[in-house]
Amino acid sequence: MTETEQKAVLTLCLMAAFADGQDERERAQIKRIADSLAPGSALDLAALYQDVLLKRRSLEQVAADLTTPETAQLAYEMAVCVCDADGAASAAESAFLERVRAALKLDSKQAAAFAEQAAAVVSVPLPARVGASPAEPEVLPPERIDTAALDKMILNYSILNGALELLPQSLASMAIIPLQMKMVYRVGQAYGFELDRGHIKDLLATLGVGLTGQYVEQIGRKLIGGLLKTVGGGLLGGLGSVATGAGFSFATTYALGQVAKQYYAGGRTIDAAQLKQVFASMFEQAKGLQGRYATQIEQKARTIDVNQIVSMVREQ
């Protein structure tokens, strides 16, 4: 993609992020991401963020910069994924996406098919415990928890999400957030807590890992880091690109899992400030660990069938 096309993709993603307003925490996270990703560079996300907020360019003007069918389709898919990151698109987001599709002159059936796939990925239900009671669950004492098994599960989810980040297909990246939510759910379940999506979203937002913002950050890192050099086919930039994209998803997932362990082991009594401190510490630790598992991430990426993403998310 050209620099102009990259800017157009990022701009459409930011427009998608604000299509239904977003709450203050999510808006603040997106601003933080924009400020931190390559400030002053040719792909200065902070400048694009300001352009979107001040409505300096229309959707149609941005769409006009995407001159090939491949880049137009990619931009649409990424916009869909941003809108769906916190759940299936709202009415306002759906209306925005239809405007995007029309501006990009995409086939309506093909666009609808992708939107249905994306909605299916984010709508995979959390795993219910067999025989679970609606009553307040028993909070299990630490000595009854197999923490080694939990650590292994967290690592497996981290490796899988790192591998998904290497794949060029939009749905592969789309699967990362639902898998993170399932991981947190399973950690809470191990400690006796039956969680719902609302609780998990609130926990992630408290940590500064909002769902929409996280997907915007994934896209920004891919484009600014030069990982998305071609459209369609092959792994992003080759498997040698593990350290940039996969490292981010690996570290984020690992840190979320470890924070969830501490949070539910403590009976959900850790306050927001402490949770953020633990997450920041675990994220730095995970960035150091990523190199150790780079080969496993690469190997996992080679085994993923993107055509079976929904089934894969459901089975994890």
Give 119-139 as a DSSP string. HHHHTPPPPPPTT--SSPPPP
Residue 300 is predicted with a pLDDT of 92
Residue 231 is predicted with a pLDDT of 45
The answer to whether residues 30 and 49 touch, using CB atoms and an 8 Å cutoff, is yes
Residue 38 is predicted with a pLDDT of 62
Region class of 238: left (phi > 0), else alpha (psi between -120 and 50), else beta: left
Cα–Cα dist 84/248, whole Å: 20
Cα–Cα dist 41/39, whole Å: 6
Region class of 140: left (phi > 0), else alpha (psi between -120 and 50), else beta: beta
Cα–Cα dist 103/238, whole Å: 32
Cα–Cα dist 97/156, whole Å: 34
Q: How many CB atoms lie within 10 A of CB 105?
A: 10
Q: Which residue has the tokens 């080969």?
A: 295
3-122 under CATH 1.20.120, yes or no = no
CA torsion 66-80-256-178 (nearest 10°) is -140
The answer to whether residues 252 and 66 touch, using CB atoms and an 8 Å cutoff, is no
Cα–Cα dist 91/167, whole Å: 30
Residue 136 CA, chain-centre distance (Å), reads 31
The residue extents of the domains of the chain are 3-122, 142-315
Q: Could you tell me where the DSSP H helices lie in 141-271?
A: 147-166, 170-174, 176-190, 197-206, 211-224, 245-265
Per-residue pLDDT of the chain (316 residues; tens, 9 = 90+): 788 888 898 899 999 988 887 667 677 778 877 777 766 666 788 888 889 888 999 999 999 999 899 889 989 998 998 888 887 788 899 999 999 999 999 999 999 999 999 888 888 888 765 444 444 455 556 667 888 999 999 999 999 999 988 887 888 888 998 999 999 999 999 988 888 888 898 888 888 787 888 888 878 777 766 555 444 444 444 444 444 455 788 999 999 999 999 999 888 888 989 999 999 999 999 988 888 898 899 899 889 998 899 899 988 8
Residue 278 is predicted with a pLDDT of 93
